[in-house]
Amino acid sequence: METRYSKRRKLLLHTTENGIDRISDLPDAVLHHILFLLPIKSIAQTSVLSKRWRSLWSSFPDLDFTTINPNAISLTNSNHPNRTEKNLHTTAATGVDFITQVLALHDKFSHIRTLRFRAHLSFSHLNGLIRSATRHNVQELDVEVATDDYFNFPRSVIASESLRVFNLKSRYPGFRLPPSSVMKDGFRSLHTLSLSLIILYNQSSLLDLFSASSFPVLRKLNLDACFGLKHLSVGCRALEDLSLENCFQLLGLNISSPKLERLRVANCFDAYSDKSLVKITAPRLRFLVWENNAITNNSSFDNLSFLHEASIGFFVLNEDTSHVTKIQSVSNLLFGLSHAHCLKFGSQCIEILSSNNYFAVYLQPYSNLNSLELHTGFNKNNVLGLACLFRSSPTLQTLILKIINDQKIERRQWNREMWDLSGSEEEQFWESQTQNLKSFLHHLKVVKIHGFLECENEVSLAKFLLKHGKALQEMILCTGHCIARDSLRRQKIRSQMMGFSRASSNAKIAFQ
């Protein structure tokens, strides 16, 4: 069977029946596009075909070395008379040497559009590669490196007027940033910046690096694993997408970006500090991901009137659920979501809402909310939090419940005989909420429950929604697999559920 590589090679070497090479006559831009489909080793090998192909290789604008072993490369030796080409194809060349040689042979009048490589190398070697790329007016630079010691941020990229995208990821041990005063005046053309594993113990506050006057055209910023970072302020005027992850020592975050549309903050903040704060001012924010962050002592989420979708989760210490200032901080965050159309809450959110009566009184309504996804262990203590969210979702149409089946959580199997006699505690609770949830029950159309194991609390909620959901059209119960001895019990419960009374004549129950 002919491989994709052999087909591509035939395309490159194809001639007509008259022996005329039609491929080589194509414009450089077209041939560069064809070569882009090949691994870089194969592109390099085409340089031995003729002077024409050697010129194409030396001017090739998209150099992606991530398809090769970063530590060792073995290319087919060539008898080509050109000495530099012969050196290029030596089997003794290491991966870093290969990258160096390719950049050295690159036509000095040809720009590099993209340079990508992964390697273990020294800082001096890294700096040399990046300087060489900037001399060729590189537009996109994507680097993932490991070094034997901490290294300094390569300053040659700061003054580059051609660089549009810069991704720098350090595997180990990390790199240090130059002073903000050095960086903020550069990167005048940069629109995407991603930095990972930054060592900031000597400059724990980045309050003026990403200011309104710096990075004038930056649209996307990603900061990951900023060790030692305690205070960060972001105010870039053109910024549209911001991601901040794994900044465990962060105490203060201030974001004020008039064009910001997407924000992701995950695994951030010092959980044991009593002085942490966050302030977000983003009038055009549409998508917010706030996952596994420690609860700050103060929070402010202002002017999020364009918010469409948000996913919220916390890292919670035991004492957080009774800490007055942190409960108020959570309340401020939830208040900032009041314009959202789609919300997703992690299990920690449900725990917080269930453990404090404050939210039963003060949780504001989500009047625009159409879709709500909740992750919960669904024990008897969670129903208060669920009811609180249902009450605050008066026009909700789609409810997705993802039950976390933790063996440590005690959940009773449903027993119809006992239930018919006295009614379960969960059933009685939901019936007591009928009036409070009137608007919610009159708008809800679709319910989907994942991890449905026919336990008492799950069945009681399903029964309640069927009984009072006047607009309900579909209830999907995703039960998963069960062992053979439970199969008969499951079938019996399903049969009984199909007989539950329904407020909506259109309501259908489906088991998956």
The pLDDT tens digits of the residues spanning 310-326 come to 999 999 998 877 788 99
Structural domain contains residue 160: yes
Residue 495 has a pLDDT of 85
Residue 298 has pLDDT above 90, yes or no: yes
Residue 226 has a pLDDT of 96
Q: What angle do CA 245, 246, 252 make, to 5 degrees?
A: 80
Considering 28-42, 75-89, 385-399, the range whose residues carry the highest mean pLDDT is 385-399
Residue 483 has a pLDDT of 56
Residue 46 has pLDDT above 50, yes or no: yes
DSSP state letter for 365: P
Structural domain contains residue 380: no
Residue 73 has a pLDDT of 33
Residue 367 has pLDDT above 90, yes or no: yes
Residue 462 has pLDDT above 90, yes or no: yes
Distance CA 118, CA 69 (A): 9
Residue 3 has a pLDDT of 61
Residue 281 has pLDDT above 70, yes or no: yes
Residue 19 has a pLDDT of 56
Structural domain contains residue 132: yes
Distance CA 144, CA 121 (A): 11
Residue 276 has pLDDT above 90, yes or no: yes
Asked which of 24-28, 107-111, 114-118, 420-424 is least confident by mean pLDDT, the reply is: 420-424
How many separate domains does the chain show?
A: 1
Residue 194 β-bridge partners: 167, 222
Bigger pLDDT: 370 vs 426? 370
SS3 7: helix
Asked which of 185-199, 226-240, 247-261, 414-428 is least confident by mean pLDDT, the reply is: 414-428
Structural domain contains residue 406: no
Confidence of residue 297 (pLDDT cuts 50, 70, 90): very high
Distance CA 234, CA 255 (A): 5
Sign of torsion, CA 200 202 206 209? negative
Asked which of 21-35, 89-103, 282-296, 430-444 is least confident by mean pLDDT, the reply is: 89-103
Residue 87 has a pLDDT of 44
Structural domain contains residue 297: no
The average pLDDT across 266-294 equals 96
Residue 237 has pLDDT above 90, yes or no: yes
| Helix boundaries (H) for 172-323 | 180-183
Residue 217 exposure: Cα atoms within 13 Å on the Cβ side: 11
Q: 297, 391, 289: which is closest to 345 by C-alpha?
A: 289
The average pLDDT across 471-476 equals 96
Residue 244 β-bridge partners: 223, 265
Structural domain contains residue 47: yes
Residue 447 has pLDDT above 90, yes or no: yes
Residue 487 has a pLDDT of 73
Asked which of 35-39, 377-381, 478-482 is least confident by mean pLDDT, the reply is: 478-482
Residue 17 has pLDDT above 60, yes or no: no
Residue 72 has pLDDT above 50, yes or no: no
Bigger pLDDT: 87 vs 39? 39
Mean pLDDT score of the chain, rounded to an integer?
Answer: 86
Structural domain contains residue 153: yes
Domain of 160, in residue numbers? 37-72+89-176
The average pLDDT across 413-424 equals 53
Asked which of 26-40, 81-95, 118-132, 222-236 is least confident by mean pLDDT, the reply is: 81-95
Q: If you search the block for the tokens 């909310």, which residue do you land on?
A: 369
Bigger pLDDT: 107 vs 279? 279
For residue 254, give the H/E element and its range: strand 252-256
Residue 166 has pLDDT above 60, yes or no: yes
Residue 147 burial (CB count, 10 A)? 19
Structural domain contains residue 500: no
Residue 138 has pLDDT above 50, yes or no: yes
SS3 324: helix
> Model pTM?
0.85
